[in-house]
Chains A and B, each alone.
Chain A
Amino acid sequence: MRIVVRGGEVVGPDGPVRADLGVEDGRIVVVGPDLEAPRDAQVVDASGCWVGPGLVDLHTHLREPGHEEAETIESGARAAARGGYSAVVAMPNTEPALDTAAMVAFVQARGRGACVEVAVAGAITQGRRGELLAPMAEMAALGVRLFTDDGRGVEDPLVLRRAMEYARGLGVRLAEHCEDERLCADGVMHEGALSGRLGLVGRPALAEELMVARDVELARLTGCALHVMHLSSARALAIVTAARAEGLPVTAEVTPHHLTLDETAVEGYDPTFKVHPPLRPRRDVDALVAALRAGSIDAVATDHAPHAPETKDRTFDEAPPGMLGLEHAAALTLEALGGVDAPGAAVAFFERLSRRPARIAGLEVADARSGLGAHGGALVIGEDANLVVFDPRRRWRARREDLASRARNTPYHGRDLTGRARALLVGGRVVLDGEALT
């Protein structure tokens, strides 16, 4: 036994249990109260903490290749580790896009040198142009389980129908950025009274809702598994909830920012708060929070979108959309769930941030093709030791100077947070200890 995680509450799928956990050769080898640690074992202090499966982010922009000035696989992985993530799914909207087996293999190879596991999402269409299907089978042969043109959705319904029919045969899932760009008409914030007053062109919630409805119907037709990314509108949420109630293969994520910020954040025209889909009015935020608590939204996913200052610090119209998320998402999710003392908070926290996202990304079992271990486990003997020690009562203040990310475009600068990853094990190795990267 090389590592002992001591003094915490182990949060299995059914609830927290006071137990220690022993790790050897990358796996959990013993779970039980008051374990004796061998003299040469590394002891991880988990007192007062939840010990759960390492978090899994379904939606991370690592920017490499193409925009290493904003983030690299290595820096993004360090940000993820600080946030308590043992695995992230790298989005394919790099330059060039991750739309071939060679590009996937490049990111996988770079990911093997990073401090957390990097899964790759492949593009649905060549160059993410929404016209011709990308070689999904070749990418799937490298272990890619999730495909998306994120940054935008597949606008042409015929192309998406074919992609779904094709993907279904491969047993992979398509993830969609649902916003009809024609209806968005180059808008930069939520369309409504505030956009009218600020003189900013709006992106109507309707653009999201119509595309979610269309995609749900295509999933019904084709039987393809559909994952709706960054739900932001209450009406779109209702469409997804109804589809799930019917038993359609539809899952959904929400971002920390859509759970905690509303459209009024853009009143000062600070481009830090520009994001697609846009921050919505409070009533949408409230609906998303309620759905997260009720479990009708599967996962919190960050949409971590680093931008270099020279790119992001422009006028609101010119600045690119997107904000950072990896280092603050866990605390914000706990806040949205009602805090540490809300009934069932511990189980819900790991369901939304680890167990369900791991299943959606196909990361719940190890895969020799990608070389990735299993994530989002039940914390039983024999599992891969991808574990987070999370202190749900730790109070701290988000500051952009403290970020591990190469970028600085966090919307949470100065915000007081509760809950922080104290330690993280990835593949049985301690990569974060006492909140510091090792």
Chain B
Amino acid sequence: MSVETIRGRSLLGLEDLSRSAVLEVLDTAETFVEVHSRAVKKVPALRGRVVASLFYEESTRTRLSFETAAKRLSADVLSLAVASSSVKKGESLRDTIATIDALGIDAVVMRHADSGAAQAVSRYVPHVRVINAGDGLHQHPTQGLLDAFTLRQALAERAGLEGPASGAALFEGLNVLIVGDIRHSRVARSDVAVYTTLGATVRLAAPGTLLPPGVASWPVEVVEDLDAALAEADVVCLLRLQRERGSGTFVPGLAEFTRTHGLTLERHARLKETAFVMHPGPMIRGVEIDSAVADAPNTLVERQVANGVPVRMAVLYLTIAGLAREAA
């Protein structure tokens, strides 16, 4: 069941990844951070390789981040604009993939509104590496990995540690609190998987309607008293209310959601001085997070965005370059 490395494999979710598989991605990403500070922000690691980017759902951050990552690795990027393609004319997912595959690709980065769509693609083209960039309510593995990477970086810095392999042990016993629309969040599912794999304790807080069915079987603790949980948390991860997935009918209103589960200034004051605040974006200021909290020094939101590139470079490199040993 447990996957020991993502080298040469598709990345569909984080539930099956072992601790060492996760750390391999984080450590590889660390080596790519440095590329960003070069004058020529490019390494030849994936020269001659072709990465297709196939986004069936709107995205700014993730798409740009993946395409930037692929280009920094010198891969060629085939970017399909679904909205203006034959998909709009009724072409099936299987045929679209077959068409792209016929052009000769090594990997496809795929986002889709339906859970399991990345699995379907990996069934259709088993010889192509499929990197799930978010499927329905299911998983968003690179977001989970970049969240873990960002948190490890922040924890290591504070502990005064240096170097790629630093800080993994800092997750042991770390108290991570995820707040908001967990039911409709693929990020929450990936975050829970990666943080628990790394040894953190994960707690969830949400209105009853926004907890996923069967949450009792998750390796987490569901907390009723958000204020008490905030005081104990080392990290708070906030999630947007996903109104496009019908969350609007799960709570009486945004104002009430803010009152019960928003990270207001008042709640922010309850946090430990050392606690970090994270958000995968897009943030809706004034709903799940107060505007001043979003800009507070202990939020890692901008670092999460910046780290998207090296983490996705690591994922592309490991999945495509496979068992080749040398990094950039």
Q: Which residues of A contact B (CB under 8 A)?
A: 191-202, 268-270, 310, 313-318
Contact = CB atoms under 8 A, between A and B. Distances in A.
Contact of B213 (A193, A269, A310, A316): A193
B328 interface: no
Nearest to A195: B213
Nearest to B113: A317
Contacts of B201: none
B116 A269 contact: yes
B212 A196 contact: yes
B139 A315 contact: no
Q: Which 9 A-B pairs have the closest CB atoms?
A: A193-B214, A269-B116, A199-B138, A199-B137, A196-B212, A315-B114, A199-B115, A193-B217, A196-B214
Given A200-B115, A269-B115, 10 more contacts: A192-B213, A196-B213, A197-B15, A198-B115, A199-B115, A199-B137, A315-B117, A316-B116, A316-B120, A318-B114
21 contacts: A191-B213, A192-B214, A193-B214, A193-B216, A195-B213, A196-B214, A196-B215, A197-B15, A197-B212, A197-B217, A198-B115, A198-B138, A200-B136, A200-B137, A200-B138, A202-B213, A268-B116, A269-B119, A315-B93, A315-B117, A316-B115
A268 B119 contact: yes
Given A268-B119, A269-B115, A317 B213 contact: no
A317 B214 contact: no
Contacts of A194: 214
B49 interface: no
A199 B13 CA distance: 12
B155 to A, nearest CB: 28
A192 B214 CA distance: 5
B186 interface: yes
Nearest to B245: A201
A314 B183 CA distance: 24
A282 B89 CA distance: 41
Interface string B174-190: 00000000010010010
Interface of B: 15, 92-94, 112-117, 119-120, 123, 135-139, 183, 186, 189, 212-218
Contacts of B212: 196-197
Given A192-B213, A199-B186, A268-B119, A313 B94 contact: yes
Contacts of B116: 198-200, 268-269, 315-317
Nearest to A192: B214
B92 A314 contact: yes
Given A199-B135, A310-B92, A317 B115 contact: yes
Nearest to B112: A315
A67 B69 CA distance: 47
Nearest to B249: A185
A202 B112 CA distance: 19
Give the interface SS of chain A, mostly helix, strand, loop or mixed. loop
A313 B94 CA distance: 8
B247 to A, nearest CB: 13
A196 B206 CA distance: 15
Given A315-B116, A315-B120, A317-B114, A197 B189 contact: yes
B44 to A, nearest CB: 36
Which of A194, A195, A199 counts the most chain B CB atoms within 10 A?
A199
A115 B64 CA distance: 60
Contacts of A269: 115-116, 119-120
Contacts of B189: 197, 199
Contacts of A317: 113-116, 136
B214 A197 contact: yes
A313 B98 CA distance: 14
A198 B214 CA distance: 11
Nearest to B189: A199
A426 B214 CA distance: 50
A318 B90 CA distance: 13
Nearest to B246: A185
Nearest to A200: B115
A251 to B, nearest CB: 32
A287 B215 CA distance: 25
A199 B213 contact: no
Contacts of B123: 268, 270
A192 B136 CA distance: 17
A192 B218 CA distance: 12
Contacts of B217: 193, 196-197
A269 B115 CA distance: 8
Contact of B92 (A191, A193, A202, A313): A313
Nearest to A191: B213
B92 A199 contact: no
A270 B94 CA distance: 13
Contacts of B117: 315
A115 to B, nearest CB: 34
Contacts of B94: 313
A265 to B, nearest CB: 13
Contacts of B137: 199-201
A201 B113 CA distance: 12
A317 to B, nearest CB: 4
Contacts of A198: 115-116, 138
Contacts of A200: 115-116, 136-138
A318 B135 CA distance: 13
Nearest to B137: A199
A196 B139 CA distance: 11
A400 to B, nearest CB: 16
Nearest to A204: B213
Given A315-B120, A316-B114, A317-B114, A199 B214 contact: no
Contacts of A199: 115-116, 135-139, 186, 189
Contacts of B136: 199-200, 317
B192 to A, nearest CB: 10
A304 B307 CA distance: 51
Contacts of A202: 213
Nearest to B193: A197
A198 B186 CA distance: 10
Contacts of B92: 310, 313-314
A92 B23 CA distance: 57
A188 to B, nearest CB: 9
Contact of B214 (A195, A201, A315, A316): A195
Nearest to B56: A315
A191 B218 CA distance: 15
A199 B217 CA distance: 14
